[in-house]
Structure formats: C-alpha cells, structure tokens
C-alpha cells in the first residue's frame, strides 16, 4: 500500500513540513501527498525538486494528488 500524506485543510507551511518529514522517514521510494490549494502544490513541488524527488501532479476536483518518487 502506498504511503500517503493528507495535508488537506492545512495552511502553509504545514503541508511542506509533513512532506519533508515523510521524505526523511522513507529516504527513497514512493508516496502521495493530497493538498487542496495551488500554493501548497507549488511549495511541495519546489521542495521535491530541490531534494531530488520526481513529482507528478494529478488534479481531482478541488484537490491535487502529488506522487513523489525517488
């Protein structure tokens, strides 16, 4: 089962903090982050890029599902 971080409803920078914690916990692998603002999507994408994680974004209604891989 894929690791998930549900960061919906959280304000900046909490989605980034949760994502960073998951990156550190896993080291490498795949996990998903669910957010509900474009700002959170952009902030997480920026962090992922700088930390060497590949990121794919899927928009579902008002939510964004980000898949991070390393």
Binding to another protein (CB under 8 A): which residues in 13-52?
A: 13-14, 16-17, 20-21, 39, 42-43, 46-47, 50-51
How far is the CA of 41 from the CAs of 1, 20, 33, in angstroms?
23, 13, 9
Return the closest-CA partner of residue 33 out of 17, 61, 51.
17
Q: Which one of residues 4, 9, 12, 54 is an interface residue with another protein (CB under 8 A)?
A: 12
The Cβ of residue 45 has, within 10 Å, a number of other Cβ atoms equal to: 18
CB of 1 or CB of 28, closer to another protein: 28
**Interface residues with another protein (CB under 8 A)?**
12-14, 16-17, 20-21, 39, 42-43, 46-47, 50-51
């Amino acid at each position: 089962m894929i690791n998930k971080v549900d960061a919906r409803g959280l304000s900046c920078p909490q989605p980034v903090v949760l994502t960073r914690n998951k990156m550190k916990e896993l080291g490498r692998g795949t996990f998903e982050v669910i957010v509900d603002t474009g700002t959170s999507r952009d902030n997480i994408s920026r962090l992922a890029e700088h930390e060497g994680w590949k990121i794919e974004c899927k928009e579902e209604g008002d939510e964004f599902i980000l898949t991070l891989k390393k």
